Amino acid sequence: MVFSYRYLKSYINVKLSLPELVSRLNVIGIESRIVDKETFESEVSANRSDCLSYVGLAREISVLSRAKVISPKVKFKEGEENVKDLVKIFIQDKKDCSRYMARVINNVKVSKSPSWLNEFLELHGVRPVNNIVDVTNFVLLEYGQPLHAFDLSKINGRMVFIRSAKSGENIAAINQQKYDLDDSMLVIADADKPIAIAGVMGGLESEVNANTSSILLESAFFKPEIVHRTSKKLNLKTDSSYRFERQVDWDVVEVALDRAADLIHKLSGGAIARGRVDLKAVKFTPKIVDLRIERLNNILGTGLKTEEVGAILGKLGLVSKSGKNILRVAVPSYRSGDLKREIDLIEEVGRIYGYDEIKETIPNRTPGVSNDEFEWRLERRVKDILVARGMFEVIPYTFCHKDNLTKFSFKENDSRCKVLEISNPISGEQDILKSTVIPGLLEIVKRNSNVKNNNLQIFELGKIFIARERNELPDEKKILAGLITGFNQEKTWVENNRLVDFFDLKGILEDLFANLGVENCEFKASSDCLYHPNKTARIYIGQNEIGILGELHPDIKEKYEFVNPVYLFEIEWQKLLDSIPNGKKFVSLPRFPNVVRDIALMVSKNIEAGKILSLIKENGGSLIESLNVFDLYVGEQIPEGLKSLAVSISYRHQERTLTDDEVESIQQKIKSALIEKFQVKIR
């Protein structure tokens, strides 16, 4: 709420300059900032509705400045007619309206407000209307109590009911809009129909205009929850609803009514009818809260004595009766929304005593073994390894566009179709939570290519969300994903560059797995609708499928208009974690030399190298220490449909030196097996 420093001074004679005042308000917890030389704005938190007015803020300021609050003076004479004869009011919904007060003012002259009032309202962003409505808005800002003025002649039957709306009812409000009402909403109604949405906005038909001569002035206490709910449902937020939903001050309901009646009388003449309507659904008594001094000191970490605490509470206007190390505190109506429990009082003492006064201490910890660090340490390690391999970490949005589902042609039972839709997305293109990391990564490629960054090597450790049943939380899975595209590096004077390919990405993964100690990983040719049918592998650790690696499907590449092929991998993080062995075990160093032999062969193009290596391993048994494909050639000197492959085999026996004959015979065995199974031609 915006406050004028000049106007504030008519409610409290504060000697502080504006910057000093703002600074002190911040120190006691009313977050404020200077707007200009004359004004400041206070962001009053939801629990301090008592500060949403000049009188309220003045009261808070009196706590920190010893100046006294100056309450507006109200003095008027009531007329002859009795309010009871002019209108009949009934609270029918007692749980939603605890107090309803009203006065009637007859023979008013509705006109423009005086300039001081117009200026004041404009300063607070309120549009001046006429000298009746403007007074109600003035008192709202002055006392924090929303009021409403009805044209009494428009109230059918001169009867007012505070009740729930009936379904099917509607109302045209003073903002010229029509609202459909239901029975969850509280309305002010006359004998026929609703005339106001209680606590939110008045009706158009009974609004005070130039022809009005009698007014019904309402001041009430509506239950915060119902005003909040109604305001939200109708999407209608007003200065009134704002204050009701944060709870108004029971006592001020009465004070504000008389203040407004007085002002209306002064500005527009007329006669204030005798008496007030004052319907109470409950009896309000100030709450008594016990405050244990020991508990206060335990929570705050202070050593305050009972008298000191009592003095601080006294500053706040909280009267307390002192017992043995305990205070019985009476909470006045203006703090009844916020100070309900002992802990609330402890906070008040703390903030007025001054958080700065409380000594910093380091807690005495009870030592214990903390939980598993394995996962987050591994996260850091994996990220560091990928960074060491030249990859950039990216953090794309979790949101994604539902249209991607069709763009990617997922089959109906693909789990990636089970997406969670956001009912109030920030934009049309961010209407679901991503069920696959791919669109987020492709978006990054597109964005970067728009600024001519076509060479990318990126990775992400993010989450995907697969919807379960409607009222269940989704499956949240962490996915480690990577993408490379474009040239591997800049062309330099000493090295040429080349486009990256599948094997660059595979190499990074193989190196990653090796570093983590993951063994028996296999890449098996596979397919997926997002990937190229012949350039894709599913990644297995032992029998467990943990992920996929491949070239982006050319159709998708085309849709995105990418220049170069794109290569991706997706790995289920938890599955990767589960396959990392705990700890390393030393293996004794080899004592006997190895023998290295090559086998060069020609074989059909579509026999995978993996199969050839498997067969060699099978036939060589434990004597084979390692294998390496060191040459692969398809081309001019090789007949159609064949490829030339050269494998280097390292043989080693753990207990003795191998003889040439032994090695030769194993080589022969291997060669025969290859010829038999794959019809290779040994070169």
Partner 1 sequence: MKEKLVELEKLILADIERASTISELDNVRVKYLGRNGELTSILRELGKLPSEERPLIGKLTNDLKVKAQNAIDEKLAVLKEAEKRKGIERESIDVTLDGRRRPLGHLHPLTGVMCEIEDIFLKFGFEIVEGPEVELDYYNFEALNFPKDHPARDMHDTFYITDDIILRTHTSPVQIRVMENRKPPFQVIAPGRVYRCDADISHSPMFHQVEGFMVDKRVTFGDLKGVLSLFAREMFGAKTKVRFRPSYFPFTEPSVEIDIECSLCSGKGCKICKGSGWLEILGAGMIDPEVFRAVRYDSERFSGFAFGMGVERIAMLKFGIDDIRLFFENDMSFLKQF
Which residues, 273 to 312, sit near partner 1 by CB under 8 A?
298-302
- Neighbour-count burial for 96-124, b at 16+ CB within 10 Å, e otherwise: bbbbbbbbbbbebebeebeeebbebbebb
Yes or no: say if 475 and 419 are a contact pair by the CB < 8 Å rule: no
| Per-residue mark of binding to partner 1, 445-464 (x: CB under 8 A) | --xx--x-x--xxxx---x-
Could you tell me the strand order of the sheet in which 201-202 lies? 88-91, 159-164, 186-189, 194-197, 201-202
Min. distance of Cβ 395 from partner 1 in angstroms? Answer: 5
Min. distance of Cβ 567 from partner 1 in angstroms? Answer: 16
Min. distance of Cβ 167 from partner 1 in angstroms? Answer: 20
Q: Which is nearer to partner 1, 32 or 579 (CB)?
A: 32
Instruction: Tell me the three state secondary structure of residue 427.
Output: coil
CA distances for 548 relative to 227, 276, 391, 480, angstroms: 54, 78, 18, 11
Min. distance of Cβ 220 from partner 1 in angstroms? Answer: 18
Yes or no: say if 283 and 270 are a contact pair by the CB < 8 Å rule: no
| Closest CA relative to residue 167, chosen from 191, 207, 194, 188 | 194
Yes or no: say if 398 and 463 are a contact pair by the CB < 8 Å rule: yes
- Neighbour-count burial for 183-196, b at 16+ CB within 10 Å, e otherwise: eebbbbbbeeebbb
* Stretch touching partner 1 by CB under 8 A, among 62-70, 210-218, 339-347, 627-635: 339-347
For position 496 contacting partner 1 by CB under 8 A, the verdict is no
∠639-640-642 over CA atoms, to 5°? 75
Of residues 385-404, which lie at the interface with partner 1 (CB under 8 A)? 386-399
Q: Which is nearer to partner 1, 495 or 618 (CB)?
A: 495
For position 94 contacting partner 1 by CB under 8 A, the verdict is no
- Which of 344, 501, 511, 528 binds partner 1 (CB under 8 A)? It is 344
φ/ψ of residue 237, rounded to 5:
-110, 130
- Which of 24, 29, 280, 522 binds partner 1 (CB under 8 A)? It is 29
- Which of 424, 606, 622, 637 binds partner 1 (CB under 8 A)? It is 424
| Per-residue mark of binding to partner 1, 185-224 (x: CB under 8 A) | ---------------------------------------x
For position 381 contacting partner 1 by CB under 8 A, the verdict is no
* Stretch touching partner 1 by CB under 8 A, among 1-9, 99-107, 195-203, 384-392: 384-392
Q: Which is nearer to partner 1, 497 or 679 (CB)?
A: 497
d(CA 525, CA 571): 16
d(CA 323, CA 59): 27
Min. distance of Cβ 97 from partner 1 in angstroms? Answer: 16
* Stretch touching partner 1 by CB under 8 A, among 69-77, 343-351, 512-520, 617-625: 343-351
For position 371 contacting partner 1 by CB under 8 A, the verdict is yes
CA distances for 359 relative to 187, 300, 420, 469, angstroms: 52, 9, 48, 51
Identify the sign of the CA torsion 590, 592, 598, 599: negative
- Which of 356, 412, 558, 561 binds partner 1 (CB under 8 A)? It is 356
Q: Using DSSP bridges, classify how beta strands 392-393 and 399-400 pair: parallel, antiparallel or unpaired.
A: unpaired
Min. distance of Cβ 297 from partner 1 in angstroms? Answer: 9
φ/ψ of residue 136, rounded to 5:
-60, -40
| Closest CA relative to residue 212, chosen from 79, 83, 108 | 108
Of residues 601-660, which lie at the interface with partner 1 (CB under 8 A)? none
Min. distance of Cβ 370 from partner 1 in angstroms? Answer: 4
List the beta bridge partners of residue 390. none
Binding-residue total with partner 1 (CB under 8 A)? 96
Q: Which is nearer to partner 1, 128 or 396 (CB)?
A: 396
For position 564 contacting partner 1 by CB under 8 A, the verdict is no
DSSP state of 421: B
Min. distance of Cβ 503 from partner 1 in angstroms? Answer: 17
Min. distance of Cβ 23 from partner 1 in angstroms? Answer: 9
For position 41 contacting partner 1 by CB under 8 A, the verdict is no
* Stretch touching partner 1 by CB under 8 A, among 91-99, 136-144, 153-161, 363-371: 363-371
- Which of 10, 13, 17, 26 binds partner 1 (CB under 8 A)? It is 26
d(CA 580, CA 383): 16
Q: Token digits for 409? A: 């042609």
Q: Using DSSP bridges, classify how beta strands 566-572 and 544-552 pair: parallel, antiparallel or unpaired.
A: antiparallel
- Which of 59, 154, 163, 246 binds partner 1 (CB under 8 A)? It is 246
For position 574 contacting partner 1 by CB under 8 A, the verdict is no
d(CA 198, CA 53): 21
Of residues 425-444, which lie at the interface with partner 1 (CB under 8 A)? 425-427, 430, 433, 444
For position 473 contacting partner 1 by CB under 8 A, the verdict is yes
| Per-residue mark of binding to partner 1, 98-137 (x: CB under 8 A) | ----------------------------------------
For position 63 contacting partner 1 by CB under 8 A, the verdict is no
- Which of 359, 411, 584, 585 binds partner 1 (CB under 8 A)? It is 359
d(CA 59, CA 358): 25
For position 373 contacting partner 1 by CB under 8 A, the verdict is yes
| Closest CA relative to residue 528, chosen from 539, 541, 520, 542 | 539
